[in-house]
Amino acid sequence: MKVLVVGAAGMLGSALLENLGVKAVGCDLPGFDVSDFNSVSIEVNKVKPDVIINTSALTDVDFCERNPEAAEKVHHEGVKNLTETGCRLITVSTDQVFSNSENNSYLLESDPTNPVNVYAASKLRGEIAALRRSNNTVVRTSWLFGVKGLLPWIVTKLLKHQVVTAVTDQTACITSVASLAKILVDMALDEDKTGLYHCVNKGAITPYDLACIVKQRLELVSGTEVGIVRPTQWAKLDLPAARPTWSALSTEKNIVLPPLEEVLELCLQKML
């Protein structure tokens, strides 16, 4: 089997290359442009992959809000280009296609979407484009972290005795890159894993609550005080893009990732 990993320079793409080994070929900017069909066609004809895993994204939500054409090119046109090659495609999407849920219940694959920003709307159009082919797969995830991301950022700031300002009005799930990469590799090797999947380390949490938990854990281990956690709300930050208030995912499918508590503990052990 040969797997083409699009967005190979990113955290998730790098983890996939490491997991897949000789089965994988990676591509990314500047030599490859997912929004250019000619670039996509040349790469696919060269590699002749059995499956493509697309991790490419403009992850700066506020940049996307200010540059909707760029978001559309990568998240929608890029997925269309990959789909039109005829290869089986697994593409990564986002929890932000949701804006809220009744009674703050976990959101399932069958729940109606309602994106509140340009980033999420362009991602949703990419999902629709991918799922027009029955052998394709869309994987929604949220708040990815590996060597970078929300969780290591909080840990680093607190250990440096700095202030962590974190929002209280957005609830989602954090997701370990290592956990998600393993799931995506399993999907690449299983042709029956098609359609829409939610893949997160389950456990709904706000960035503020996460930072408070991390602070308590760090102080317990070190025996000394660390930095300060300060609450805020998105409106006070005066940023261009709206954020969903609740986008915590769960799944109706037979896909299981480790729970939040487990990945949190593993990350803290490594950082310490």
Report yes or no on 93 lying in a domain: yes
Within the chain, what is the greatest distance between any pair of CA atoms? 58
- Lookup result for tokens 């938990």: 213
In tens, the pLDDT along 33-85 reads 999 999 999 999 999 999 999 999 999 999 999 999 999 999 999 999 999 99
Report yes or no on 233 lying in a domain: no
Structure tokens that stand for 119 in this block: 């980033």
In tens, the pLDDT along 149-176 reads 889 999 999 999 999 999 999 999 999 9
Report yes or no on 126 lying in a domain: yes
Report yes or no on 58 lying in a domain: yes
- Whether residue 209 has pLDDT greater than 90: yes
| pLDDT score recorded for residue 138 | 98
Report yes or no on 162 lying in a domain: no
Report yes or no on 103 lying in a domain: yes
| pLDDT score recorded for residue 263 | 87
DSSP codes of every residue in the chain = --EEEETTTSHHHHHHHHHHGGGEEEE-TTT--TT-HHHHHHHHHHH--SEEEE------HHHHHH-HHHHHIIIIIHHHHHHTT-SEEEEEEEGGG----GGGPPB-TTSPP---SHHHHHHHHHHHHHHTSTT-EEEEE-SEESSSBHHHHHHHHHHTT-EEEEESS-BB--EEHHHHHHHHHHHHT-TT--EEEE---S--B-HHHHHHHHHHHHHHHHSS---EEEEE-HHHHT-SS---SB--B--SSS-----HHHHHHHHHHHH-
| pLDDT score recorded for residue 101 | 79
Whichever domain contains 137, its CATH number is 3.40.50.720
Structure tokens that stand for 165 in this block: 């300002």
Nearest to 128 by CA among 79, 61, 200: 79
In tens, the pLDDT along 118-135 reads 999 999 999 999 999 999
Number of domains in the chain: 1
pLDDT averaged over the chain?
Answer: 95
Report yes or no on 155 lying in a domain: no
In tens, the pLDDT along 88-101 reads 999 999 999 999 87
Report yes or no on 232 lying in a domain: no
- Whether residue 102 has pLDDT greater than 80: no
Structural domain span for residue 191: 3-145+175-203+246-257
